[in-house]
Structure 1
């Protein structure tokens, strides 16, 4: 099978696409891939590092207010469809998969015009503008959150698949996670992370509770500042009037997050959909602090979906303080019943077979398209 993947801008769009590729490759090692991304997104470093052939388009998104830039966006879209058509005709894929971000628009639309089977995957509880636009043209829309199928009323087929990143993380080796952190197997770990760049509000609250952490010596706090905020956080700790406790581990970034997640007892994080899929695939309780700086406030909607099921405690950024954060963490760590219950509810929301479900759907689309071309259907 020959597969084109497209998705970009953030890791939340890129890693699900790579998880699908990983599953397809495991099922059929002869599968060939082409990844089409944007010129400005994180995919420019992540995808080549994953070893996939990579092409780019110059594409931007629409501004939500009247702007002359939207005229340029339309022209870039039209040019993107033209270039995508050329790439698709040359590669001759059996199926095209879009996982979100502006670059999906021209690629998936071009595939539709060329009558190539298409599937888009929506990670969030509130769909993005690009996927809403594409939903009327594709063969299948796959959603991460059960109950959100109705968000695509014009789609031909909508299926609940979960997020394929869950499959990748579910396979992670827990013992390797302890080894990477230099901690004994079974050590209780509270992982605090704001994404690869970091989250200023989470960092500020975390620095406020460092003195309290010393009172929980049995739990090790792995505090991932994000690369942008690492030096600032280290400086704040160095200049503090107290010595940072031995159970605090400060890191700028975690290269092998699946293994570290697998070793974690509790996670404090933003509420990006792909990360929540990873957390629930492992059944980890969480304290979620949704980013307010996202379209349609979709991170809070994502987080509330877990909170409503008893899998997470949600603290909005406007409510966040060191005291509020520590109270939530302490409640989960010290209450075995609550932690176990939250873990069970988290696991009940997980979809560790997501990548397999999507790979099976893609296989069906490809087989059906080949049958149609042969005149068998």
Structure 2
């Protein structure tokens, strides 16, 4: 189990099977980057063995097996912002997860461990680093999370998507790679005409794409519901991803000009159809929208750790690559800001051009290049 792999530089056919553990979960923003990294590793090392580690009861326990990978769950969750029974259970969960993670690492004996964020990545990478196994952190946000900051000193490499991350991590460990995105966005297969046909849209009308995340965003849904007449006044048609939690509530608004979805399986088609986009500012969404290169109005979620979505959006606003409206300012500001962007083709072109300049479409390959440097030789 512990024998080292021998292979020449750039040789993707090692004489002995490589083993990788990946951990990322809680949200799609942590899960899909981990899957993208695993897929790229598997394309380079078809005989490699992979194991994912997630948090029991979280969405990774469903999504990872669907992607074709084995996963083990830890009994772990995050700390709540107020005193709750869950918080009182946290020390017990942490100890349990550290013990379980240690057993997983010992039994699987990986050559490299990769963490993309989420509750389970902390205990797993902590135990892997104790065993002197090289660990790679992938920090997606412009403001580092607590877990990654705690793990940084023991990590071999920290892959980031934004400049200025030396305020959180040792500068000699940082590599700016960008965030992994879906392959169909890097190599799009659709065009606007095909996308209009796919959604049943009128090619003569402009299209607004609304994204609140896979589960949905209550405040964005309330906003869109209240502004349907406002959008109609501009002759707009909508692709509205309201999320699985809210679909039953908002599906009644579906019409010829308003297409309501719980989840969009063909994001490439949705992005191709869109002329303007309203979106949350999660790290994965921001990275994808940079590649898409269209005008975006960000409405960051204020209910995330360290308000990192606001910081993600602000990093683009500072480069005139997007605009942002805080949730608390939606009522007085949204119509004014939306009107300004929508009514100025020059502004739209400028925003689309500037956000496109920030794209890092080869992020997954770059991250795996860094992982390769840690493999035994």
Deviation at 1:68, TM superposition (A): 7.6
Q: Is the 8 A contact 1:112 1:138 kept in 2?
A: yes
Q: Which residue of 2 aligns with 1:241?
A: none
Aligned mates of 1:195, 1:361 — CA distance in 2? 29
Aligned mates of 1:28, 1:265 — CA distance in 2? 40
Aligned mates of 1:170, 1:91 — CA distance in 2? 33
Q: Which residue of 1 aligns with 2:15?
A: none
- Structure 2 unaligned residues grouped into runs of 5+: 1-17
> For the structure 1 residues 262 and 24, does the alpha-carbon distance in structure 2 shift closer, same or farther, using more than 3 Å as the test?
farther
Q: Which residue of 2 aligns with 1:240?
A: none
Aligned mates of 1:266, 1:169 — CA distance in 2? 17
> For the structure 1 residues 285 and 29, does the alpha-carbon distance in structure 2 shift closer, same or farther, using more than 3 Å as the test?
farther
Q: Which residue of 1 aligns with 2:310?
A: 300
Q: Given the alignment, which residue of 360, 374, 377 partners 2:369?
A: 360
Moved more, 158-167 or 298-307: 158-167
Query: How many residues are paired up?
Result: 358
Q: Which residue of 1 aligns with 2:135?
A: 118
Whether 1:329 aligns to 2:345 is no
- Aligned CA RMSD, in angstroms, stands at 2.4
Q: Which residue of 1 aligns with 2:232?
A: 214
Deviation at 1:67, TM superposition (A): 7.2
Q: Is the 8 A contact 2:181 2:288 kept in 1?
A: yes
Q: Is the 8 A contact 1:226 1:253 kept in 2?
A: yes
Aligned mates of 1:6, 1:185 — CA distance in 2? 43
Aligned mates of 1:98, 1:168 — CA distance in 2? 23
Q: Which residue of 2 aligns with 1:36?
A: 53
Aligned mates of 2:161, 2:374 — CA distance in 1? 19
1:1-377 residue pairs with structure 2 within 5 A? 1-63=18-80, 72-153=89-170, 157-165=173-181, 169-175=185-191, 177-183=195-201, 188-217=206-235, 219-235=236-252, 237=253, 246-321=256-331, 324-366=333-375, 370-371=376-377
- Structure 1 unaligned residues grouped into runs of 5+: 238-243, 372-377
TM-score norm. by structure 2 comes to: 0.87
Classify the secondary structure of the residue corresponding to 1:159: strand
Aligned mates of 1:185, 1:26 — CA distance in 2? 39
Aligned mates of 2:336, 2:43 — CA distance in 1? 43
Aligned mates of 2:195, 2:33 — CA distance in 1? 21
> For the structure 1 residues 262 and 351, does the alpha-carbon distance in structure 2 shift closer, same or farther, using more than 3 Å as the test?
farther
Deviation at 1:190, TM superposition (A): 1.5
